Structure 1
Amino acid sequence: MEGTNRIVSAASAENPQSRGPLYKIWRFVREIVIIIAIALLLSFVIKTFFFRAYYIPSGSMEHTLEVDDRIFANLMVPGPFELERGDVVVFRDDQQWLPPLTEYPTAFQNVLSFVGVLPAADEQYLVKRIIGMPGDTVECCTAEGAITINGEPIDEPYIYDGDSPSDMEFKVTVPEGKLWVMGDHRGASADSRFHADRQGGFVDIESVQGRASVISWPTSRWGTIDSHEEVFANVPHAVAK
């Protein structure tokens, strides 16, 4: 019958099994290349717009963050979501609080930085907790040893066991576009208190890379990073001067 007569090309009739081992190897390699390309693209998009991995080298944020912890920072803060008192933030060392780099990244480290496994290897970063937002007056300390924000004393449960809120007195008013940051291990954190010679110890909001959100490694410490909103719940708004 005319309806059953079909012309089938030799190429379409060919059995893929008959194409030989080289064809199978090529298909396998092609699929691996496609998978890697997709993974790299997704990683690049995630690290550019959403999250980035960081490594904790010091004890300045103990016990919230421990030495050798790996964390992910939410890059949408600041941005679509705003910074708040108590947020643990990662920021570029634009004011040179840290000593200059003495080792330069390898090509492998640059690749890992590009895909988001590591932060930019040729820049330095710090991680601290926001204590003062723009306009806040932060002072240490009351007769009981507490830090006050806009006159309201705060009780800080995240401070390292045995540490006081601060061993040095200070009183600052945070300028517009700046932050006052402190480490949770107050006795081992060279934070805003110690850098009055670098724009008063304040950190530019523009330097903030993101809010530290999750501890990803080691697995025994998996979990979210608490901003302790309850600590700052009764802090009054800053009074314009």
Structure 2
Amino acid sequence: MAEVDARSAEDNPQSLGRSALLMLRDLVVIFLIAILISFLVKTFLMRPFYIPSESMAETLQVNDRIAVSLLQPELIDIERGDIVVFEDPGGWLQHAPAEERSGAAGYMHDFLVFIGLAPDESHGYLVKRVIGLPGDVVACCNDFGQVTVNGTPINEPYLHLEDASLPASGTEFEVTVPEDSLWVLGDNRYHSADSRAHTAGPHSGFVPIDNVVGRAILTTWPMDRWRWLDNHADVFANVPEHAAP
């Protein structure tokens, strides 16, 4: 008798409808929780960005997607060698009109940007490698074509040079990084409009630390390029904290 009652209950349209509604409710709750988690991650921990130029090749390729930790510089200090994403300090970018997306595709893209699953292309962001911290004296080039930091030459394995005999910079420079600023260079040194190219700009080529969005830690797309991004701390291991007097 009990089995007959159970089968009857299963065949009851009201019972089936209630089960379907409960399942739908659970799916909606899971979806909303996933959106909330994604939004919180994007706001406080990590954001996606894409690479629009060749200035960081071969480390980063055009159209690579990267994950950027938002813990730097608010909670964790920026270090020499870090790859950082920062807002245009002024005059670094020739702003092109953002690609317009209309209809359902536009709404979906805006939604994905809002929750942190797609990069925000509406702002002027750049990505470069930190070579000089506040107080550092950065120069190029010594007799061996190397960059020096506080008088110490550095060997840069991440450099992408068309000819290995070329110096680390086609432009000579010697700068002292001011307080709360950074000196940044691209890994594709001869095809990078970095600090060297903006010495006549509002901040004399230096990037205010307040403009830094975060540190690039991971290449997320394409899948065959998925990898952690090294800040090559060993390159700067022998650099003294301050330049010798």
TM-score by length of 1: 0.87
In the alignment, the residues of structure 1 paired with residue 228 and residue 207 of structure 2 have an alpha-carbon distance, to the nearest angstrom, of 24
Closer, same or farther in 2 for the Cα pair 1:79/1:29, shift >3 Å? same
Q: Is the 8 A contact 2:140 2:173 kept in 1?
A: yes
1:65 corresponds to: 60
Looking at structure 2, the residues matched to 202 and 16 of structure 1 have their Cα atoms a distance apart, in angstroms, of 71
Contact kept, 8 Å, 1:109 with 1:121, in 2: the verdict is no
- 8 Å CA contact 2:9, 2:15 repeated in 1: no
Q: Which moved more, 1:106-115 or 1:81-90?
A: 106-115
1: CA distance, partners of 2:18 / 2:91:
56
Give the fraction of aligned pairs with identical amino acids, expressed as a percent.
Answer: 46
TM superposition shift of 1:70 = 1.1
Amino acid in structure 2 at the alignment position of 1:175: P
Q: Can you give the 5+ residue segments of structure 2 that lack an aligned partner in the other structure?
A: 1-7, 101-105
1:234 partnered with 2:229: no
Is contact 2:84-2:212 (8 Å) kept?
yes
Q: 1:179 aligns with which of 166, 178, 182?
A: 182
Q: Structure 1 stretches (4+) deviating beyond 6 angstroms?
A: none
Aligned partner letter, 1:114: F
Quote the offset at 1:108 in angstroms: 3.0
Compute the RMSD of aligned alpha carbons: 2.0
- Whether contact under 8 Å (1:43, 1:115) holds in the other structure is yes
Q: 2:50·2:66 contact (CA, 8 Å) conserved in 1?
A: yes
Paired letter, 1:211:
R
Distance 2:152 2:116 in 1: 40
Residue 54 of structure 1: which of 41, 49, 52 is its match? Answer: 49
> What is the distance in 2 between the residues matched to 1:68 and 1:116?
17
1:5 alignment counterpart? none
The answer for the alignment partner of 1:222 in structure 2 is: 226
Structure 1 gap ranges (5+) = 1-13
Q: Deviations over 1:147-203 (max 9, x none)?
A: 111111111110004353100111111000100000000011100000112211011
Q: Secondary structure at the match of 1:201?
A: coil
1:104 Cα deviation (Å)? 5.5
Look up the match of 1:98.
Answer: 93
- Mapped pair 1:206 → 2:206: no
- 1:59-112 CA-partner distances (Å, limit 9, x unpaired): 111111112211101110112211000000111123231112412554333211
For these two proteins, the number of residue pairs brought into alignment is 228
Q: Secondary structure at the match of 2:204?
A: helix
- C-alpha displacement at 1:39, in angstroms? 0.7
